[in-house]
Structure formats: C-alpha cells, structure tokens
Structure 1
Amino acid sequence: MAGLPNNNNRWIAPDATPSNGVTVLPPRHQAKVQEFLQKFGYLDRSRDAADLDPSVDDHAALKYFQRFIGLSDTSGIYNDETKTAMNEPRCGFPDVSGISDFVLSGSKWNKKVITWRLVGPSEDLPIGQVRTAILKACNEWNRYMLNNRLQEVLSGPADIVIQFARGNHGDGNNFDGPGRVLAHAYFPPPAGGQLSGDIHFDEDENWTEDFSMQVALHELGHSLGLRHSTDPSAVMFPTFSSGRRSLGTDDIAGIRRLYP
C-alpha cells in the first residue's frame, strides 16, 4: 500500500518461537503482546500488566483478536499468523465492538450538515492535496447519507477538526512513530467529549494523497459514529493491508442505519 513506512524503528510483533510444539514467549515478548491486546481493547486497559495471567487473560484475549480479525486459527495461541496480523498498519481505535459486522457507537450528529476543517496539514504534502484527499473521502460517505452531508469550512469552528501530529499531541492517545497506528478518530458527541468527531493522523507515516484519502475514509466512519467491522472488505475493518477507496456493503448498511 503506498505510503506505508519502511523504517527499522517501527513497532514489530515478536516472533512465535515453538518449544516442544508449544509457542513460548519470553517475558519481554509476552509484555509486548499484552501491550497490543490492551491498547486495542482485547484486555482490560484499566488493569496493571502485572495482574494479568498470561495462561488465562492473554489466551482469551488472543482468541478474541484472532476471531475478530478473521484468522483461520482461533485457538488463543500466539503463532506466526497472529504475528502477521498484529504487524498490519491499522487504525488506533480499539476493536471493542464484539464479533459482528458493522456496529454503531450509540452516538451520531443530530444535524443535517456536519462540518469539517483541516487545521494541521501534513509536512509531506501541499495543503491542497491533503484537502483534496479528505474531500474525496467525504464525498464517498455523502453518497450514502441521503439527508445529511459532510461539508468543509475554511475558518471558524467545525464539528470535525482534522490535524496531522506526532507522538504526544495533547489528547492522551500518543502516536507510536512509523508503523502500526496510522491515525485515530473520536465519536460524535457526547461520546467523544471535547474531541468529538476529531481526526488525528500520525505525521511520522509517509503520506501521499491517495494514502491520506484511504485512511481518512476509515477515520471519518468513526467520526460519524461507526465502530470497527469484522468484514475484511469493509472500509471500517481495522487494518490497512489493502487499499479501500469506496464503501463496502457492510459500511453502507451501517451509515444508512445511523443516518437514514
């Protein structure tokens, strides 16, 4: 996929090393897997890692992740297929919606015109190309919202504020450098609080206009009120292993349920 980083500092899931037919992870690698599972909602993020039992908690969480992402092996055992899935570039939003297709967040915009504004463009692209990418993504969602629409504003307040940032950028949800998390977004009010609807892109990725459009298309789904889908062909599937430039059947069903 154009724009994905090739950087030795990117987050990499540990190797699955078999021992007598059973995968055994050394403690530092086990901690890395736990960190992934907690970050993306498969383990309780309020619990201290020291309180987790790998044989019980990690096993159940890995099984949940394997099922959600659609792996063939859902044994709850860490393996090469799981490693590959964890290494996929993805959205930073947790996969906490359950084993289902489209899932609604429970919040939506109660207005016909939902405004957006780019306040922090990328260093990789001219601002016009970034705006064009976001406009293309908005137009794809607008095709299926019959009585609502996303509309850009060039100044003043906006419902959805979009920016590119890196590392600690003030929302308590730090970016992790090149690879893994590409962007994240917040649900409509009241679920997203002061950041309701906002979208943040990780500036440490290698952004192109087309790449920005694909990621914006996904993140706008969250801004409108959709969670992650388990359908690999859906825009709202959590990883970006292949380019998706148009809404799938599952995405259309979800947005039409939210905005009939």
Structure 2
Amino acid sequence: MDFLQPLLGTQKGNLTEGLSKLKNHLSRLGYLTTIHKPSSSSPPPHDDLFDGALQQAVTDYQSFFSLPPTGALDAATLAHMGKPRCGVRDVSPPNTTAHYTFFPGQPKWPAGRRNLTYSFPPGTRADAHKAILDATNIWASVSPLKFKYTKDYSAADIKISFQSRDHGDGSAFDGSGGILAHAYAPTDGRLHFDGDERWVNGVVGGAFDLQTVGLHELGHVLGLGHSQDGGAVMFPQVGNGFRKVLGKDDIDGIRAFSPLIPPDLIPHHGYDHLPILPRRHPHRHASLPPPCWSPEETVALIDAYKDKWYSLHCGNLRGNHWQEVADDVASRCPALPPKTSVQCCHKMEKLRKRWLKDPPRFIATTAWSSLGSHPLSQAVVEISPAIRMLNFGS
C-alpha cells in the first residue's frame, strides 16, 4: 500500500501518478466497476486521472467507514485505506438499524447441509488447525451449522489454505500488509490466508491472530458480508496483536441469515439435548429455596465442567462425571457448603440456555466475566464449545 502516501490531498480533476493503483484497489473492494489490468507498459494517462467515478468511489468508501464524505484523499481517508484488511468486497447494509450485510443475492448453504466439513492441504502449519477448530466452534455455538474436520481436502466443504501473491483465483495477494485473507460465498468454500503475513494463534505484537481472521473469513464462507460495526468480527479491517470474538452484530447477522431452529423442533441426535426431568409435585418441598450460587461458585463450576469436558475429549458427561464436577467445585470453594451433582447439572443447564439465547448478554452478565479469572475473549473460546455441546447422559 506504499502507493497511497503520495496521493495525499488529491481530488477530482488532478492527474497524479499512482491513482491507477488506487482505482484497482477500490475496484477489488467493490467501489468501482472497472479495473485497470497492469501490464509491462505504462498505464495510459487517463488511468491516473481523478475523475468523477473515482470521486464517487472515494465518497462511498468514506461513507461505509463513517469518515467525512469529502470525496477527496485527505489524511484520514488514506490512513484508513492503508490498514490491513480482508480482501472481500464491502457492501453497504440495506437499512440503518443493523450493520451486518450479506453477499449479493444472499447465497447460503442448502437447508439439508447443516454439517459442514473443513480441511487443509497436507503440510499446513499445526497452529492453524487449532485456530480454525476454535473458530468453527464459536460460529456453531450461535448458528444451526456444525463443523467437522476431515483429512480429505478435495472432498471438504470448506478448503482452507495459505497462498501467496497470484494463486490462480483472480484475487492475488499483495505481500506483507494490505490484504490479509479472503474467502468466497456459499457454496464455494474456499478460504485463503496470505502466506506472506506473520501469523500466530494468539495475541502477539506485530503478528495477526489466525483465530480472529479465521473467524472473520468463516463468516464469509457462511454467507455474511462485511459489517460497518467496528466492534464486529465481520468489520473489514483487523489490527495485529489482539484477538476479537463475535459481537452482537455478528450474531444478529448469522441468525437473521440462518435462524436457529426452535429447540422443540430439533431432532435429538446428541447435540444440545436437554434431559426431560421428572415433574415434581407442586407443593412438595415448597419450603426449600433453590440453591444459591455465589460468583465464586459459578466460576468454579464453569472451570470444573470445562476441565472435565476436555478430559473426556469433548465427550458427554454421565452421572459419575457430574459427581466429579461437584467434588471439584467443592475443592475450589472449601469455605462454602458443597453443591450436589444434581445442582451442578441443573446450574449448567441454565447457563447453557442463557448462552444459546443471547451469547453477548451471557458474557456481559455471567459472574466469571467480572472476576478476572479469565480474560473475556479467552473465556468465550474456552467455554462456549463446552456449553454448546452440553449433553446429559443417563
């Protein structure tokens, strides 16, 4: 993006070297309908002319990102254009009450394909596998779609790979900085990371987080476009050295696009299955209040449940497992009266329902988000798959 800086102050009517590259860039992002194809010869003079079409493209770009719509290349606009971002086109939202968007025509995965497979070509870096596993779990926790890894790259619904420069799909990467990744609308399934970037699975200064960018690009694979909400994962730009999780706009978007099936209509095949508890006599034990859970106990329960769930290789908890969870909670909170396995089971059921109903509100109001036991973003990554897969065995 080095070509941007010499364009400072350029406006309609100017003839400035480098404007042809800006036209190419804005065309790729959906703001211009024509694109200049670079060749070995110098571009014709009119390609470097700041014409009316370019002025409108710059104005549309400024409007999308809530910049002053001057139509000129001022310092704020150029600084914004130089930020690392996704290579998918920006589409203005259809209304002012939401910021999420969809691809033109709203392509989506067929209703009968709710279990999507994903894969990487042989030799793909190991940390990408873990990052995408977490990202797919996060999307699955707020949508009707499920994801499963397969070794068969050619047969996978979603094909994830690292590419460099021109890699044959008509959307060449630009080296370090600029465009970080891109993905295609349903049901194409291709997701490409720029192999020339510095990638990590985590938060490291000067490096881009695979999970954050993967979460964004998977949103495109599912049918979401870019959001104008700067706090949303689907916002086009991303910085280095931090991690994002789904925001309310992301969740509203995927649920507007792929609504969650009402729980009473979901066939119970192991996912999200709640036990049918025996109905007690309405007057029996009326004098006994429900167990109260302190914030410390809630934190302990979530940690104990998560540890047990992962120790079972993401398997379902049975009766004896819940007793182990209760014992673990008691050991973490020795000064408080111990909870029974049934109380722990029922508490997790309530947490699960709250999570499925409104994940952002669940994050904001659940005790463990304010106690400092987990950073907020890590807490979502660690516990949301376990809560989503909560299953009560016999």
* TM-score bracket for this pair, using the shorter chain length: 0.7 to 0.9
Distance 1:184 1:86 in 2: 17
Spell out, residue by residue over 1:34-89, the C-alpha distance to the aligned partner (whole angstroms, 9 max, x if none): 22211211111357884796241111110100111122x21111111011111100
Q: Does 1:67 align with 2:63?
A: yes
- Secondary structure of residue in 2 paired with 1:139: helix
1:192 alignment counterpart: none
Higher alpha-carbon deviation: 149-158 or 106-115: 149-158
Q: Between Structure 1 and Structure 2, how many residues are aligned?
A: 237
2:108 alignment counterpart: 108
TM superposition shift of 1:138: 1.0
Pair 249,120 (structure 1): closer, same or farther in 2 beyond 3 Å: farther
Bigger Rg over Cα: 2
Tell me the amino acid that sits aligned with residue 117 of structure 1: S
Distance 2:3 2:94 in 1: 25
Q: Which runs of 4+ in 1 moved over 6 A?
A: none
Residues 227 and 236 in structure 2, CA contact (< 8 A), matched pair in contact too: yes
Which of 152, 156, 162 pairs up with 2:149?
152
Residues 67 and 99 in structure 1, CA contact (< 8 A), matched pair in contact too: no
Distance 2:51 2:247 in 1: 38
Distance 1:121 1:64 in 2: 41
Distance 1:154 1:120 in 2: 9
Q: Which has the higher helix share?
A: 2
Tell me the amino acid that sits aligned with residue 107 of structure 1: P
Structure number with the bigger relative contact order (C-alpha 8 A, sep ≥ 6) is 1
Q: Does 1:87 align with 2:82?
A: yes
Residues 23 and 78 in structure 1, CA contact (< 8 A), matched pair in contact too: no
Pair 108,118 (structure 1): closer, same or farther in 2 beyond 3 Å: same
2:236 alignment counterpart: 238
Pair 121,206 (structure 1): closer, same or farther in 2 beyond 3 Å: farther
Distance 2:127 2:22 in 1: 37
5 Å-filtered alignment, 1:65-214, equals 65-71=61-67, 73-98=68-93, 101-105=99-103, 106-110=106-110, 111-119=113-121, 127-145=125-143, 147-155=144-152, 157-189=155-187, 196-210=188-202, 211-214=209-212
TM superposition shift of 1:214: 1.0
Q: Which has the higher strand share?
A: 1
Alignment RMSD:
2.5
1:217 alignment counterpart: 215
What TM-score do the two structures reach when normalised by structure 1?
0.82
Spell out, residue by residue over 1:170-224, the C-alpha distance to the aligned partner (whole angstroms, 9 max, x if none): 21211111110011000112xxxxxx02101110101111311111010000000
Tell me the amino acid that sits aligned with residue 17 of structure 2: R
- Secondary structure of residue in 1 paired with 2:5: coil
Residues 102 and 226 in structure 1, CA contact (< 8 A), matched pair in contact too: yes
Distance 1:121 1:25 in 2: 49
Unaligned runs of 5+ in 2: 38-43, 203-208, 260-394
Percent identity between the two aligned chains: 35
